[in-house]
Amino acid sequence: MKTKTTADKIISYSVLILMVALILYPLMAIFLSAFKTMSDFMGNPLGIPKTFTVDNFVYAWSKMHFGTYTANSVLVSSLTVALVCVLGAMAGYKLSFNFKGNKLIFTFFLAGMAVPVQSYIITLFQFMKKMKLLSSYPGLILVYTAINLPFAIFIFSSFFKTVPRELSEAAQVDGCSEMRTFAQILIPISKPTLATVVIVTMMNVWNDFFVQMIINMDQKKYTLPMGLLKFRSETSVNWTPLFASIILVALPVAIVFVLLQKQFIKGLTNGAVKG
Amino acid sequence: MKTKTSFILFLGPALVIYTIFRMGPALASLAYSFTNWDGLSKTYEYVGLSNYIEAFRDELVLTSIKNTILYSVIVVLFQNGLGLFFAVLLDKQWIRGKNFFRVVLFLPAVLNTAAICFIWATILSPTIGVWGNVMTFFHLNSILPYDLLGSSDTALITVALVNIWQYIGYSMVIYLAGLQAVSKDYYEAASIDGCSQRKMFWKITLPLIAPSITINTILTTVGTLKEFEHVYSMTGGGPGNASHVMGTAIYQVAFGNTQRFGYGIAISTLLMLAVCIVTVLQRKIIGKAEMNSEN
């Protein structure tokens, strides 16, 4: 540890800087190109734009309906996150107690994490068609909720196991109902776990397109990644507006990540370590 | 009575949604895999194991199984290797700007996969990409095809590299968490005993971060076995079937022009079995290795 030489330092920093360049260069190149005109980009795909234009963003936002996609993404992911948090916390809370059948129900939920979505999406598609839930917001939200519930239940129940029982018992002796104890005492102290569930679920739903490719055929209800796929398959040469729409899809998450990086990294690795 | 209502109130909604929209369809899928159902007609016949037998004779399926294994091995080895490398590097006390490096390396993991794939497809594009210049600069033209994503020899590996690029930071952060839990006393004691840096890494660091290795290996293996998004957005399985993995092959069979749902479900059942078997095996094998290293 103590015998670090100058050579060590130079090599280490060079490797790190090379890696940073390898990550930031592609992102920056696309970011800058989104502000170029088409002819500027074709003549100069690498460099800094000669004239900055926001036309590409205007085009993507209104002509390619990215405004609608953004609204859909916000709607679907926030409602899913709310549902997963509420239902996941409630189920996780109950499962943190020892009762008959507790292990069985818990295993039933956990089993879902080993089953890939691909293996049941076709049957799910058929079922949703029968229930007239295809290409609908409730359908999307329910499917995403079902996908994200096992993880939420898993980490909520491990958290509630660490909370002393005396806390909720005392409240109930004071005449507080179980539901009120849960909502007003237990939920507020579970904030770090809640944050993890919010981040993991939000990311999963915001970034998904596989599930939607199957169960959402209505372009008016597409979320951002689906809009991006549609744009890309429709126009193969309209590069600069495509870059603008890539930015519209990626930038919100990137900004939230940079602002809340500590919680993000903790949330996602919590998810990994416990999931 | 009161406890019963409370159970239904707290557990009921989650159980109902999860059963209807996840476990129910998953179990029903198993039954459908023994039929010739096309997903549209109301009737279908039981065909026994013939879907499964056909799968092992189907060129597309065999290619996709081979590709899935190759993809998985490449990503697991390099994403973990590089993730561990950067974690060790950024765990060193004398490195400055640790937080900056961590945030930049982790950034691609939170970005949308479709967006990332289109960015790389643009850079590697033979018409507008800048990759051509890089190849000429390093005189790679004789070794590598000009269109990396469009050549059957390189398409799958290129997609795997983008996958690695996106998730190195994720593996790194999990390793960092493991490294930070290792007490510095061990290293001091070892260096007093005259232990070399390399020996310390193999004899102290690696055994002590074994749990992180387990988690990372299982995560990347399961993730890559289920791979769909990178391949679909960068090559669509092409050229020909050269870069199809099981995830995209299932989509192709069930939702492409053939619309054979029963067959698609049979292939996806194979995938599910593979995921379950690999997870259990890895837990066992790595668990044993962890036990041995503790002795």
Tell whether A261 lies on the interface with B, counting CB pairs under 8 A.
yes
Closest CA–CA distance from residue A42 to any residue of chain B (Å): 7
Residues A259/A261/A266/A267 CA torsion (nearest 10 deg):
50
In a domain, A172, yes or no: yes
ipTM of the complex, rounded to two decimals: 0.85
Contact A145 B104 (CB under 8 A): no
Lowest-pLDDT range, A10-14, A43-47, A92-96, A197-201? Answer: A43-47
Set out the domains of chain B in order of their start, with CATH numbers. 45-294 (1.10.3720.10)
Which CATH number is A169's domain given? Answer: 1.10.3720.10
Residue B75 has pLDDT above 50, yes or no: yes
- Residue of chain B whose alpha carbon sits nearest to that of A227: B114
Burial A230-242 (b: 16+ CB within 10 A, else e): bbbeeeeebbbbb
Distance between CA atoms of residues A127 and B12, nearest Å = 21
In a domain, A48, yes or no: no
Contact A273 B115 (CB under 8 A): no
Please confirm whether the linkage preceding B239 is cis (ω < 30° from 0): yes
In a domain, A104, yes or no: yes
pLDDT of residue B1: 43
pLDDT of residue A275: 40
In a domain, A180, yes or no: yes
pLDDT tens digit string along B104-149? 999 998 888 988 998 898 888 887 777 777 777 777 777 777 788 8
- Looking at residue B46, what DSSP letter applies? B
pLDDT tens digit string along B257-272? 777 888 888 888 888 8
The distance from CA A103 to its chain's CA centroid, rounded to whole angstroms, is 29
- Looking at residue B295, what DSSP letter applies? -
In a domain, A252, yes or no: no
Q: Which long-range contacts (CB under 8 A, 24 or more apart) does B277-284 make?
A: B278/B221, B278/B222, B278/B225, B279/A114, B279/B218, B279/B221, B279/B222, B282/B214, B282/B217, B282/B218, B282/B221, B283/B214, B283/B218
Tell whether A117 lies on the interface with B, counting CB pairs under 8 A.
yes
Residue A272 has pLDDT above 70, yes or no: no
Tell whether A222 lies on the interface with B, counting CB pairs under 8 A.
no
The distance from CA B251 to its chain's CA centroid, rounded to whole angstroms, is 17
β-bridge partners, B46: B35
CB neighbour class for A262 (10 Å; exposed up to 12, middle 13-18, buried from 19): exposed
Q: How confident is the model at residue B210 (pLDDT cuts 50, 70, 90)?
A: confident
**Tokens standing for residue B148:** 């990396």
In a domain, A95, yes or no: yes
Q: How confident is the model at residue B231 (pLDDT cuts 50, 70, 90)?
A: very high
Range of the structural domain that residue A131 is part of: 65-234
Average pLDDT, chain A: 86
Contact A147 B22 (CB under 8 A): yes
Number of domains in chain A: 1
Contacts of B119 in chain A (CB under 8 A): 26-27, 30, 246
Distance between CA atoms of residues A196 and A193, nearest Å = 5
pLDDT of residue A145: 96
Residue B242 has pLDDT above 50, yes or no: yes
β-bridge partners, B35: B46
Average pLDDT, chain B: 85
Q: What is the CA radius of gyration of chain B?
A: 24
pLDDT of residue A136: 92
Q: Annotate B179-233 with three-state secondary structure.
A: HHCCCHHHHHHHHHCCCCHHHHHHHHHHHHCHHHHHHHHHHHHHHHHCCCHHHHH
Lowest-pLDDT range, A2-16, A131-145, B108-122, B235-249? Answer: A2-16
Average pLDDT over residues A19-29: 91
Q: Higher model confidence: residue A174 or residue A235? A: A174
pLDDT tens digit string along B33-66? 888 877 667 777 888 788 888 888 888 899 999 9
Closest CA–CA distance from residue A28 to any residue of chain B (Å): 10
Distance between CA atoms of residues B86 and B92, nearest Å = 10
Lowest-pLDDT range, A92-96, A181-185, B145-149, B284-288? Answer: B284-288
Residue A30 has pLDDT above 60, yes or no: yes
Contact B112 A111 (CB under 8 A): no
pLDDT of residue B289: 66
Q: How confident is the model at residue B291 (pLDDT cuts 50, 70, 90)?
A: low
Average pLDDT over residues B210-227: 87
Which of B2, B7, B29, B158 is the best residue to mutate to test the A interface, defined by the most A CB atoms within 10 Å of its own CB? B29
Closest CA–CA distance from residue B111 to any residue of chain A (Å): 6
pLDDT of residue B164: 96
pLDDT above 90 covers a percentage of chain B that reads 26
- Residue of chain B whose alpha carbon sits nearest to that of A177: B6
pLDDT of residue B295: 43
Tell whether A173 lies on the interface with B, counting CB pairs under 8 A.
no
In a domain, A204, yes or no: yes
Lowest-pLDDT range, A118-122, A140-144, A238-242, B135-139? Answer: B135-139
In a domain, A5, yes or no: no
Lowest-pLDDT range, A20-24, A67-71, A104-108, B132-136? Answer: B132-136
Residue B168 has pLDDT above 70, yes or no: yes
Q: How confident is the model at residue B2 (pLDDT cuts 50, 70, 90)?
A: low
Contact A246 B119 (CB under 8 A): yes
Tell whether A59 lies on the interface with B, counting CB pairs under 8 A.
no
